[in-house]
Amino acid sequence: MLLSKYCASGNDFLIFHSFISANRSEMAVRLCNRFHGIGADGLVVLLPLSIAESNVEASYKWEFYNSDGSVANMCGNASRAVSLYAYHNNLASNRHNFLSKAGIITTEIQEILNAQEAYIQSKLGGYSIKGNFVEYRKNNVYEFELIEITIPHLVCLVSSMKDYYTLVADTQFLAQLRHKYNANVNIAFRDSHITYYATYERGIEAVTQACGTGASAVYVCIGDFAQEGILVPPSKEKLKVSCIDNEIYCSGIAKKICDCVIN
């Protein structure tokens, strides 16, 4: 079995294509394990559309698994990694649609940087604000906004980098919120035109190096749609987010890391 490892802004994924749809949860757990497997945030399988889906304008559909084997409707950074994989393997053109459980996702390779890397934009679609919530941590009050961009994200904008690092380091607190709201949890600090953010992700159950839908949720929470947002995750690989006609676009670099042969 041949699969490839791709990385998008710090999120890494194992990707292959197949003609067979199957439950690959156990495979995802085994291969994504960073000590006993290859190591990745998720496993993605590209599949042809079924006969019932033949009227859908998409080059393929995907099965997406988090590293714990759970299925996710969508992953922003994975959409860019998969777009480059599909292009590298002649499965789609530089601009194409694919079908996710969250619906049609449009991706575009805007610049080929070298044989392994490209700058890619994903159109994630619309967003909705589900509500505002107050949470307490060690006698401090924090305000969160619940925003859905294909998947739910809880966002807290803090007033200093000290608060940012303090909350990001408290993974027990973030885990409690993740389970309470069944959402990814984002902590963000805006410094001038640059926003630093970190995401505690469902299905990985940890703060990851980056999250595309998380960056997009933070951008929506800030609410300054007049300009493109520059979001910096723990990986330090910048993501750019914009809102055009009430739809969110997320852009950044994706790259191929290697091919892997599994016996």
Dihedral sign, Cα of residue 188, residue 186, residue 123, residue 19: positive
**Same-domain pairing of 26 and 90:** yes
**Same-domain pairing of 9 and 98:** yes
**Same-domain pairing of 143 and 113:** no
Q: Exactly one of 32, 75, 221, 243 is catalytic; name it.
A: 75
Q: Is 221 a catalytic residue?
A: no
Spell out the residues 6+ positions from residue 241 whose beta carbon is closer than 8 angstroms to its own.
Answer: 215, 216, 219, 228, 229, 231, 248, 249, 250, 251
Cβ(96)–Cβ(59) below 8 Å:
yes
**Same-domain pairing of 86 and 172:** no
Spell out the residues 6+ positions from residue 148 whose beta carbon is closer than 8 angstroms to its own.
Answer: 127, 128, 129, 130
- Tell me how far the alpha carbon of residue 130 is from its chain's centroid: 20
In eight-state DSSP terms, residue 48 is P
Cα separation, 239 vs 219, in Å, equals 11
Cα dihedral 71/218/132/227 (nearest 10): -140
Whole-number Cα distances in Å, 70 to 24, 43, 89: 10, 10, 26
Largest CA distance in the chain: 57
When computed from its CA atoms, the radius of gyration of the chain, rounded to whole angstroms, is: 18
Condensed to tens digits (0 to 9), the pLDDT of residues 154-171 reads 999 999 999 999 999 999
* Cα–Cα–Cα angle for 10, 14, 16, rounded to 5 degrees: 140
**Same-domain pairing of 140 and 193:** yes
Name residue 41's amino acid: D
**Same-domain pairing of 73 and 144:** no
**Same-domain pairing of 131 and 118:** no
**Same-domain pairing of 119 and 189:** no
What's the first-to-final CA gap in the chain, in angstroms? 6
**Same-domain pairing of 20 and 137:** no
Whole-number Cα distances in Å, 43 to 104, 142, 162: 19, 34, 34
Q: Which bin fits 10, alpha (ψ -120 to 50), beta or left (φ > 0)?
A: left
**Same-domain pairing of 99 and 156:** no
Specify the number of domains making up the chain: 2
Condensed to tens digits (0 to 9), the pLDDT of residues 113-127 reads 999 999 999 999 999
Domain residues for 185?
126-251
**Same-domain pairing of 101 and 156:** no
Q: What is the pTM of this model?
A: 0.93
* Cα–Cα–Cα angle for 38, 203, 212, rounded to 5 degrees: 85
Going residue by residue through the chain, which has 263 residues, state the pLDDT in tens, using 9 for 90 and above. Answer: 899 999 999 999 999 999 999 999 999 999 999 999 999 999 999 999 988 888 889 999 999 999 999 999 899 999 999 999 999 999 999 999 999 999 999 999 999 999 999 999 999 999 999 999 999 998 899 999 999 999 999 999 999 999 999 999 999 999 999 999 999 999 999 998 899 999 999 999 999 999 999 999 999 999 999 999 999 999 999 999 999 999 999 999 999 999 999 87
CATH classification at residue 230: 3.10.310.10
Cβ(45)–Cβ(246) below 8 Å:
no
Cα separation, 118 vs 80, in Å, equals 9
Which residue shows structure tokens 């714990």? 68
**Same-domain pairing of 93 and 134:** no
